[in-house]
Structure 1
Amino acid sequence: MKLPLLGRIGAVALVGTLALALSACGSDNATDTPAASGGASEAPASTLSGTLNGGGSSAQEKAQQAWVAGFQTANPSVTVNYTTSDSGAGRKGFLDGSLDYAGSDSALSTDELTQAASRCTGGAGIDLPVYISPIAVAFNIDGVTDLKMTPDVVAKIFSGAITTWNDPAITALNSGAKLSGPITVVHRSDDSGTSKNFQDYLAKTAPTVWTFPVSNTWPAQVGQGANGTSGVVQTIQAAPGTIGYADASAVGSLGKVALGVGTEFNGPTADGAAATVAASPRDTTRATGDIVINIDRTTTAAGAYPAILVSYLVVCNTYPTAKADLIKGYATFAASSDGQSKAATAAGSAPIPDTLATDVAASINAIAAS
């Protein structure tokens, strides 16, 4: 494994088997392969030491586990704790200083950027897009693993306009599927970037049906709420006839909806997410180093899957000296080809495009010691 040179962070050598100090949320799923023992390495050992505390996005959970494992293996004197909660809690913890960084499926808002100016000791908060993943529309119907739905049909289900599985709008698209009974919608009950991204998809692809304001909380009085990605998935798994939305890495063997994109129906894949990001512009109103993607939900690019989230590491562009080195090292690893590969293996995410990776690296490299 190779870490790029950034700031005062030198190349590091992998060491032998290391007991990883992961946070309690599912850390046993993350693995890393230590360097073979025997024979001296020519690379200098890591000089980084200390603790980083992060938290937030439950969609990022598996990716964060992979990044923490890989980074700690390369830097045995560093401890990184990532507490899975939700994107809103992550941003709140970052802004009040209880977290060194946040994982968030939504970029900092204008108000949050103002708050970050105080939290970041005279610097600014910045968003680093490091995790790209499809949001699966997942369901539990006995004997059915795949369904096709247009954006209007999905929006009508989640708004409560379609309430049964054998509604003609569903059966017309899914000849031969045995569909009957009531539909139970499952949505996030917490402050969720995944919810915001899913609502944004509905609002832009089915604007005459989904007329609710897009926000981090669920706006429709339909179905039942569940806390976090795992809560949504567990609720769907436990009850036939349910349908919900979650990061595709978490839905396992649940049925998945192929969404109508132009004349195609595309399922939630990393390649489909990558195709959507490739078709999407950046937010040009953001300050230098603050990289936010304006996802093109209406793209009809071949293979695209527009119900995606681009998830961010939320950090300051200034930190006290010791913390700056740790943040730069960890963010560098997450955005590196090695870190992106580990996230793809652990979570099925799409690696960030090369041009975006270059710009993210430049933003990380510009993080200064205050």
Structure 2
Amino acid sequence: MKIRLTAALGLSAALLLSACAANEGTPAPADSATGSAATDGSAPASDLQGTISGKGSSAMNSAQTTWIAKFQEANPGVTVNYAPDGSGAGREAFMGAGVDFAGSDRAFKLDENVAGASSLCADDSIAYDLPIYVSPIAVIFNLEGVDELNLDPDTLAGIFKGDITKWNDPKIAALNEGVELPDMDITAVHRSDDSGTTENFTDYLNKTAPSVWDNEADGEWTYEGGEAAKGTSGVVAAVTNGTGTIGYADASQAGELSVAKIGKDGNFFGPTAEDAAKAVDVSPMEDGRDANDLAINLDRGAEGYGIVLVAYAMACAEYADPAKAELVKAYLGYVASEQGQNDAAEGAGSAPLAEGLREKVLAAIDSIK
């Protein structure tokens, strides 16, 4: 299975048509500086002036590139910068007041997100975790002569843990009858940085293959061995330029690499935006949080492809600088709007937020001071 741009565009078109059908007859929100979609399908315009900077998730870099281009086109007085340096770097920069918002493929933990933790925020303010990007994580591989590959959770976990070291291992062969697998070493590539994509990937392995993946989910790689690469682009490059390589990356950045199907009991699924959306739809919010702190407890047992991530924008509930609050509200309001979500679906192949979740996110953004 290979993900190509044409396939991503076809998927995006289907998602857009589905979104239009689901919302048929619903009036478009009024244009406003807080980010509601404009009636002409463009990003909302405003007379705002200034610069805001974000850092974090490399998984949603394609989406951020799309959002920034659309927003700045409609708002030439505003400059938005985003550095895809990884989720951990984004959270650290936000807490250190080095950026105005962060992007992370996991939410702040409750003991991290306390009032006064970041000097960027007002003294009595926490940060809001705002879901803005939903996408599958693809298991990418580069194995000469093999384009299609089925893996179950135990086998996938064994490969990345280092227990399965040869491509013709009987466990892999049993899942790929008729495929000529070479007697070649497996090079499993993982992230070297603190990564939300890694945390989601290892959470999936821990919950679906606990007898093999006996470490809990973590943004930092917890087993020895394999090859480490920085950021999504680093993993993709290492898999692309290697031989007998396998890795994991946001599906939007898989490019021309082959992508494994994941499943069990003879049912295998490729990464799709529809399955990512389905997993989020059946997942509850985390307990014990502020009503506008929208962290999701992902259900990894959803039917279909379960290796998915939710990426969050992290913003102060109340900023120390009201001017920054106004700019962040405008940008994130567009990002979370129906138009912004559809723009990301078209540009990155992500799954637009479901209407109910989108409304919660927009209400939380509107409450930012």
Length-normalised TM-score, structure 1? 0.86
Answer yes or no: is the 8 Å Cα contact 1:91–1:103 preserved in 2. yes
Deviations 1:145-176 (A, max 9, x none): 22111100100111111111111111111112
Identity of aligned residues (%): 48
Which one of the candidate residues 247, 253, 270 is aligned to 1:267? 270
Asked if residue 335 in structure 1 is aligned to residue 324 in structure 2, the reply is no
Does 2:137 match 1:135? yes
2:367, 2:265 → 1: CA distance? 41
Note if contact 1:271-1:350 (Cα within 8 Å) is conserved in structure 2: yes
Paired with 1:263 and 1:326, the residues of 2 have a C-alpha distance of 50
1:93–1:102: 8 Å Cα contact kept in structure 2? Answer: yes
Alignment of 1:305-320 (within 5 A): 305-319=305-319, 320=321
The amino acid of 1:311's aligned partner reads A
Q: Can you list the C-alpha shifts for 1:180-227, whole angstroms capped at 9, x where unaligned?
A: 111111000001000000000000000010001321100111211000
1:349 deviates by 0.7
Runs of 4+ in structure 1 over 6 Å off: 6-14
Is residue 2:291 matched to residue 1:288?
Answer: yes
Distance 1:175 1:363, change over 3 A: same
Aligned mate of 2:240, from 222, 237, 240 = 237
> Which amino acid in the other structure matches residue 129 of structure 1?
P
2:69 matched to 1:69? yes
Query: Which runs of no fewer than 5 residues in structure 2 stay unpaired?
Result: 1-27
Alignment of 1:1-370 (within 5 A): 46-114=46-114, 117-119=117-119, 120-121=121-122, 122-180=124-182, 181-260=184-263, 264-299=267-302, 301=303, 304-319=304-319, 320-368=321-369
CA contact (8 A) 2:105 2:195 kept: yes
- Report the equivalent of 2:10: none
Runs of at least 5 residues in structure 1 that lack an aligned partner in the other structure: 15-32, 36-42
Give me the whole-angstrom Cα distance separating, in 1, the residues matched to 2:185 and 2:153. 20
Give the 3-state SS of the residue equivalent to 1:103 in structure 2. strand
Tell me by how many angstroms 1:359 deviates.
Answer: 0.4
Change (3 A) 1:141 1:360: same
Aligned-residue CA RMSD (Å) = 2.2
SS of the aligned residue for 1:355 comes to: helix
Q: Could you tell me how far 1:178 is from its partner in structure 2?
A: 1.9
Q: Distance in 2 between matches of 1:172 and 1:154?
A: 13
Displacement of 1:47 in angstroms is 1.6
Aligned-pair distance for 1:124? Answer: 1.1
How far has the Cα of 1:284 moved from its partner?
Answer: 2.2
TM-score after normalising by structure 2? 0.87
Map Cα deviations across residues 297-353 of structure 1 (whole Å, 9 max, x no partner): 122x2xx21101100001101122221111111111111111111111121111111
